[in-house]
Each structure stands twice: as structure tokens, then as C-alpha cells.
């Protein structure tokens, strides 16, 4: 009997405890109300920060567009996009040379960097001994974070004199030199992402391929790279985005002359380098400035398109 | 039939031999290319450190820059680098983390949020010069304060906000659902769960993100040239937010391409070494605790 009443009392006690937690102690600032208050405040803080971040991002999009579009009050879009004549002194703003330069430079960079990066990725994921892999992966991660001026400095002080000797050109500046500097810059990015993609290919694919009698060469090219294709593409697009947007490293080796890049060793200019070299000396309310903003807006659109592509590839990757 | 069975082994062996040779060539090629490229890049970095480091002196690191005479230092530029790094992190880290937590924990799944996510992701890899142009428009044009430390620092923070938001969101999403549910089951509020469970579990991802943006802010030059200028106030320890704010990365470019001092080459070599050393240290310092932790776990 005593035991029964004791358990009954305990039940009552627990019930009371339970209701006490639910209802709080009734005072206005007891622990429960305080916790709920903090909880709610924190949520609003987060919403507020997210709203600020969105506001900043949207105002960048809006602002670049709004300032850039003013160019077309004075310059026809046809002329802006298809003329190579860029001489602000005579009010002619043809940006085709820069747009072409940017694409040519990016294409050349990818031509150099993609094969080498895939080789490095295959090496890291498939061949290197474990200690070397554990050493090289963090090293490549650190290389991704080296400032671009340092690479530009290397290009300026080491690469240009070498190219000058080797090619015999009076001035070695141009898209070839810039492409080599950019290759060194994007190599770590592309190889690390490809390395991750190749490492993620299931072990059973390899075993199945080897069991069929394939050599490592055949396995890598016929099984592993096709299986890791979408990951590798992701890395290539990120590398491309970096090559298109890189400014200072390019400025230091490309020569900064507004002329069409129709030769490898010819001082020229791309979108980014032209913006950064000219904008500090330009009055804000001038067509010249608006044209530079329009070029910035172009860069923005190009990179947003590439990010959308990345998403498509990622979705494909998760599906298969 | 018998003829076939006689010839086929020889076909196999000859093909086999070609395959084996191919395989050997391929293996050799991969080894050679990878080691050459990696050694080459590492060699370049060692070269920078080796050319600059031995000549460093405290007089150079803390000294004032000079416009005409030889022997200028990098003191104010170096100070500005750290000062602007600090201010930009002060803005970007809390805002970015809170926004990332919102996207990971509170945001409803609808089209607007999907669009916001795409924008954040897109702007995380937009060319930095765009943020420089935006900074000019906001601080130089609209506020009319000219090229200043605060303008540069805030532009840097804008540059890093999307990255920080994304990294935080991904790190928090990667926390296993069981851990979160367990915390709720113990009666914790959402805030308690985030503070005591989600963030501690996700901390290694978040800190890696912070080290990423810190390195980027320290080495960034295009944004700084546009929003903070290519000169310093010429004083050491100048905390005034409205003075021009050339950083070390900008100084490296400026000395090499625009300045007229006779010892430009030497200054740029030493600046490059200091810049590289500090970026490596930032990476190293942020990563070491996790290496130690990983090792302890086994």
C-alpha cells in the first residue's frame, strides 16, 4: 500500500513538473519566456541579415544594369558590341576588342590548363602513394588562395623576360603570357575539383573494369573519366569563371593597349584589365564611365550564365 | 573454326602488348607531368620567398613608403591590409553566418528562396572587379567620401558576403539530421539547438570558410584600387576610417608598374615575400587546429 501511494505521489509530481515546464512559473521573465524570447529574436535577426544580403546582391545587379544601360543613350548597341574602335577621346566606344580578348584569353587558358589538370587529378586520385596524396591535396588547396598579384608579379618578373628571349618579340606582353599566368592560377582549382570527382567514382567500377582485363590506361579513359565527367565539367567551369574575372594578374602581363588580340604576342586588353586601368581617371557622369559599367555588367552576366551551367551539371551528376 | 581458335590468341597477345605499352607510357606520362607541374609551381613560390625574405628588416616592414628616394618601407600599407581585413571580417562574418543559418534552417522552400540561393551562389563567383565598380558608385559617387579605408573595407565585405553565406549554409546542412532531432527531443529551443549543436558540429566547415575569405580579402587588389586608392596617408597606425587605404597587395602592383622609386624591384620582391608569407600563415593558422583534432580522433 505504501509503495502504491509512493508511486502515485511520484506520478503526481512528474505531472506537475511536466505542466510546470509547459506553463512556466507564471512570472513574466522566467527562464521559459526568456528562452522563447531569445529564440524569436534570433530568428528575426537571421531573417534581417538574409534580407540585407539579398538587398546588397540585388542592388549590385540593378545598379550595374542601370548605369551600364546609359551607354546606349550616346552609343548604338551595334557599335558597342561589334566595333573594335575604342578611343574615348573621340567619343567612340567599341568594346568588341575587349570582349573578344576575354574569350580568346579564356579559351587559350583552358586549352593549356584542362589537360594538365586532368592528368594531375588522375595522378592524385588513382596513382600517387598515400603519403604524397595527403601532402599534395592541402598544398593545392593553399595554392588556390594565393593572391593574384603574386602570380602577376611572377609573370612580370620571370615569365615576360623568358618569353622575350624565347620568342624574339620586342614586347612579349599579350594574351599568350596572360594565358600562361592564368593557367598556373586555375590549375589548382580544376585539378582539386576533378580529383574529388574522380575519387567519388565507386570502387566497383574500377574492379569491374580490371576484372574484364582492362589496363589502368583503359580503365581511366573508358570508365573513370566518363563516370566523373560532370564533376570535371564543374571544375572546368569554375576555372573558366576565374579566368574570365581575373584582373590584376592579367593587367600586369597583358600590355593594356586597346587593340584586337589577333596575335599571341601583341599588347592588348581584356574587359577586366581595361576597366581597372581606366576607371580611376574617368568622371562618373560620362559616356566613357557608363561604357565601362556596361562592360562590367557583361562580365556579371557571363559569370551568372556560367553558374547556371554549373547547376545544370551538378543536377546531372546527382541524377546519374 | 579451328583456324579461328588458332589465330585469336595471337591477336590477343599482340593487342595485349600494345595495351601494356600504352599503359606504361600513360603511367609514366601522368607521373612526369604531375610532378613537373607541382614542383614548378612550388618552386616559383619558394623563389619568391627566397628572393625577398633574406633582405627583410624591421625598418622595411614598419617603415614609411617614399615616392622618390630609395629605401621606402611598407608599414602603412601592411597596417592598412590588416585593418581592412579586420573591418571587412567584422561585417562579413556575422552577416554572412546569420544569412547562411537563415537559408539552412528557417527559409521556406519556395521559388523566391530558390532564386535568392541562385543569386548568392552566382555572386560568390562573380569577378571581384564588379564589387569594385559597385563600391565606387556607392562610396565615391553617392556618399562622396572619395577613396577611403571604410569604402574599401565595406566593398571587401560585400565581396565576401555571398561566399560566407554559402559556406555556412552548406556546413549547417551537412550536420546529420539525427543530431538535430536529438537536441529537439531533449526539449531544446531552435536557438539552443543552433548554438549548442549545429554550429559546434559544423564549425570546421565554417572556419575553413572564414580562412578562405580572410585570405581573399588580404590578397585582393582590384577592389582596393577602385575603392580605397593607390596611396596611403603616409602615417603609421592611422586608424582614421576616411584616409586613403592602399594595401600591401596594391602596393606590390603599384611599385612594380607605376612608381618611380629607383629600388622598385627590390621593394616589390620584398613585398611579394611578405604578402605570400602572411597568406600562407593565415591558411596555416586556421587549419592547424583541425589537423590536430583529426589526428587525435585517429
Concatenated DSSP letters of chain B = -HHHHHHHHHHHHHHHHHHHHHHHHHHHHHHHHHHHHHHHHHHHHHHHHHHHGGG--HHHHHSPP-SSSS----HHHHHHHHHHHHHHHHHHHHHHHHHHHIIIII---SHHHHHHHHHHHHHHTS-HHHHHHHHIIIIIIIS---S-HHHHHHHHHHHHHHHHHHHHHHHHHTS-HHHHHHHHHTT--HHHHIIIIIHHHHHHHHHHHHHHHHHHHHH--HHHHHHT-S-B-S-SS---TTS-B--HHHHHHHHHHT---TTHHHHHHHHHHHHHHHHHHHHHHHHHHHHHHHHHH-
Report the C-alpha gap between B197 and A295 in whole angstroms: 46
Give the closest residue to A156 by CA, choosing from B256, B157, B16.
Answer: B256
Concatenated DSSP letters of A215-228 = -HHHIIIIIIHHHT
| Chain A residues with CB-CB distance to B36 below 8 A | none
For the residues B238-252, what does the mean pLDDT come to? 84
CB of A300 less than 8 A from some CB of B: yes
Closest in B20, B34, B120 to A123, CB measured? B34
**pLDDT at position B4 over 50:** no
User: Closest chain B residue to A135 measured between Cα atoms?
Assistant: B38
pLDDT top residue among A147 and A262: A147
Closest in A54, A119, A142 to B34, CB measured? A119
Q: Do B256 and A153 touch (CB under 8 A)?
A: yes
Confidence band, pLDDT 50/70/90 cuts, at residue A20: low
pLDDT top residue among B258 and B103: B103
Cell of A16: 506537475
For the residues A38-51, what does the mean pLDDT come to? 90
Cell of A60: 549590385
User: Closest chain B residue to A299 measured between Cα atoms?
Assistant: B127
Cell of A231: 564533376
Q: What are the C-alpha distances in Å from A209 to residues A216, A220, A223, B30, B182?
A: 9, 9, 7, 20, 43
Q: What are the C-alpha distances in Å from A214 to residues A121, A217, A276, A277?
A: 20, 8, 53, 55
| Chain B residues with CB-CB distance to A64 below 8 A | 130, 133-134
pLDDT top residue among A236 and A3: A236
Query: Phi/psi of residue A50, each to 5°?
Result: -60, -40
A49 in Cβ contact with B98 (< 8 Å) = yes
Closest in B45, B189, B250 to A36, CB measured? B189
Give the closest residue to A98 by CA, choosing from A183, A106, A307.
Answer: A106
Report the C-alpha gap between B128 and B117 in whole angstroms: 19
Cell of A272: 577586366
Residues 165-224 of A with CB under 8 A from B: 184, 187-188, 215-218, 220
**pLDDT at position A133 over 60:** yes
pLDDT top residue among A170 and B31: B31
Give tens-digit pLDDT for B209-238: 898 899 888 888 889 988 888 877 777 777
| Chain A residues with CB-CB distance to B42 below 8 A | 139
Degrees to nearest 5, angle at CA B118 with B116 and B121? 110
**pLDDT at position B27 over 80:** yes
Question: What count of CB pairs under 8 Å joins A to B?
Answer: 245
What ipTM does this complex have? 0.84
Closest in A122, A292, A304 to B30, CB measured? A122
Torsion sign (Cα): A61, A64, A69, A70: positive
Give the pLDDT of residue A36.
86
B191 in Cβ contact with A39 (< 8 Å) = yes
Give tens-digit pLDDT for B145-171: 888 889 999 999 999 999 999 999 999
Whole-model pTM? 0.85
CB of A270 less than 8 A from some CB of B: no
CB of A307 less than 8 A from some CB of B: yes
B159 in Cβ contact with B84 (< 8 Å) = no
Give the pLDDT of residue A195.
92
Report the C-alpha gap between A280 and A289 in whole angstroms: 10
Least confident of A67-71, A302-306, B121-125, B192-196: B121-125
Least confident of A104-118, A206-220, B219-233: B219-233
Q: According to DSSP H, which parts of A145-270 are helical?
A: 148-154, 160-167, 175-199, 203-211, 216-218, 225-227, 229-245, 248-254
Nearest CA to CA, how far is B23 from chain A (Å)?
A: 5
Give the pLDDT of residue B2.
45
Q: Do A247 and B119 touch (CB under 8 A)?
A: no
Question: In terms of residues, how long is chain A?
Answer: 320
**pLDDT at position A5 over 80:** no
Amino acid at each position: 500500500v505504501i509503495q502504491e501511494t509512493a508511486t502515485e505521489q511520484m506520478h503526481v509530481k512528474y505531472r506537475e513538473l511536466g505542466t510546470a515546464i509547459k506553463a512556466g512559473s507564471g512570472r513574466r521573465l522566467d527562464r521559459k519566456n526568456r528562452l522563447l524570447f531569445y529564440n524569436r529574436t534570433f530568428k528575426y535577426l537571421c531573417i534581417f541579415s538574409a534580407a540585407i544580403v539579398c538587398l546588397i546582391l540585388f542592388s549590385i545587379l540593378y545598379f550595374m544594369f542601370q548605369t551600364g544601360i546609359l551607354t546606349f543613350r550616346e552609343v548604338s548597341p551595334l557599335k558597342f558590341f561589334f566595333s573594335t574602335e575604342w578611343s574615348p577621346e573621340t567619343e567612340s566606344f567599341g568594346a568588341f576588342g575587349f570582349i573578344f580578348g576575354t574569350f580568346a584569353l579564356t579559351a587559350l587558358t583552358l586549352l593549356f590548363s584542362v589537360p594538365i589538370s586532368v592528368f594531375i587529378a588522375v595522378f592524385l586520385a588513382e596513382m600517387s602513394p598515400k603519403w604524397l596524396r595527403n601532402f599534395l591535396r592541402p598544398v593545392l588547396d593553399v595554392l588556390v588562395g594565393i593572391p593574384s598579384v603574386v602570380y602577376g608579379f611572377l609573370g612580370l618578373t620571370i615569365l615576360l623576360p623568358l618569353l622575350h628571349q624565347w620568342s624574339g618579340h620586342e614586347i612579349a606582353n599579350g594574351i599568350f603570357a596572360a594565358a600562361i599566368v592564368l593557367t598556373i592560377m586555375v590549375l589548382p582549382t580544376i585539378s582539386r575539383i576533378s580529383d574529388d570527382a574522380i575519387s567519388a567514382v565507386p570502387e566497383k567500377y574500377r574492379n569491374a573494369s580490371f576484372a574484364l582485363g582492362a589496363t589502368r590506361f583503359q580503365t581511366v579513359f573508358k570508365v573513370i573519366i566518363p563516370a566523373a565527367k560532370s564533376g570535371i565539367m564543374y571544375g572546368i567551369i569554375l576555372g573558366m569563371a576565374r579566368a574570365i574575372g581575373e584582373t590584376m594578374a592579367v593587367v600586369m602581363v597583358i600590355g593594356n593597349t586597346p587593340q584586337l588580340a589577333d596575335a599571341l604576342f601583341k599588347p592588348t586588353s581584356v574587359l577586366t584589365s581595361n576597366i581597372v586601368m581606366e576607371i580611376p581617371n574617368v568622371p562618373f557622369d560620362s559616356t566613357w564611365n557608363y561604357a565601362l559599367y556596361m562592360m562590367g555588367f557583361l562580365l556579371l552576366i557571363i559569370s551568372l550564365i556560367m553558374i547556371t551551367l554549373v547547376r545544370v551539371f551538378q543536377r546531372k551528376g546527382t541524377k546519374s | 573454326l579451328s583456324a579461328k581458335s588458332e589465330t585469336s590468341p595471337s591477336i590477343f597477345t599482340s593487342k595485349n602488348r600494345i595495351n601494356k605499352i600504352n599503359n606504361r607510357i600513360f603511367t609514366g606520362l601522368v607521373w612526369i607531368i604531375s610532378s613537373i607541374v607541382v614542383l614548378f609551381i612550388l618552386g616559383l613560390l619558394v623563389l619568391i620567398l627566397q628572393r625577398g625574405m633574406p633582405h627583410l628588416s624591421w625598418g622595411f616592414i614598419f617603415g614609411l613608403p617614399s615616392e622618390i628616394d630609395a629605401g621606402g618601407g611598407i608599414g602603412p600599407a601592411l597596417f592598412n591590409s590588416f585593418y581592412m581585413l579586420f573591418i571587412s571580417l567584422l561585417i562579413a562574418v556575422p552577416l554572412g553566418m546569420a544569412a547562411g543559418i537563415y537559408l539552412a534552417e528557417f527559409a521556406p522552400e519556395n521559388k523566391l528562396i530558390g532564386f535568392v540561393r541562385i543569386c548568392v551562389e552566382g555572386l560568390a563567383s562573380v569577378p571581384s572587379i564588379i564589387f569594385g565598380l559597385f563600391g565606387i558608385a556607392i562610396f565615391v559617387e553617392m556618399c562622396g567620401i572619395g577613396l577611403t579605408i571604410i569604402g574599401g573595407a565595406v566593398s571587401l565585405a560585400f565581396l565576401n558576403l555571398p561566399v560566407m553565406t554559402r559556406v555556412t549554409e552548406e556546413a549547417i546542412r551537412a550536420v546529420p539530421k539525427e543530431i538535430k532531432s536529438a537536441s529537439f527531443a531533449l526539449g531544446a529551443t531552435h536557438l539552443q539547438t543552433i548554438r549548442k549543436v549545429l554550429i559546434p558540429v559544423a564549425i570546421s566547415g565554417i572556419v575553413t570558410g572564414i580562412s578562405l575569405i580572410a585570405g581573399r580579402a588580404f590578397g585582393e587588389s582590384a577592389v582596393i584600387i577602385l575603392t580605397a586608392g593607390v596611396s596611403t596617408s603616409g602615417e603609421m597606425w592611422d586608424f582614421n576610417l576616411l584616409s586613403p587605404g592602399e594595401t600591401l597587395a596594391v602596393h606590390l602592383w603599384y611599385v612594380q608598374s607605376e612608381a618611380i622609386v629607383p629600388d622598385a624591384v627590390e621593394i616589390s620582391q620584398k613585398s611579394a615575400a611578405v604578402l605570400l608569407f602572411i597568406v600562407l600563415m593565415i591558411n596555416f593558422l586556421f587549419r592547424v587546429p583541425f589537423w590536430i583534432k583529426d589526428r587525435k580522433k585517429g
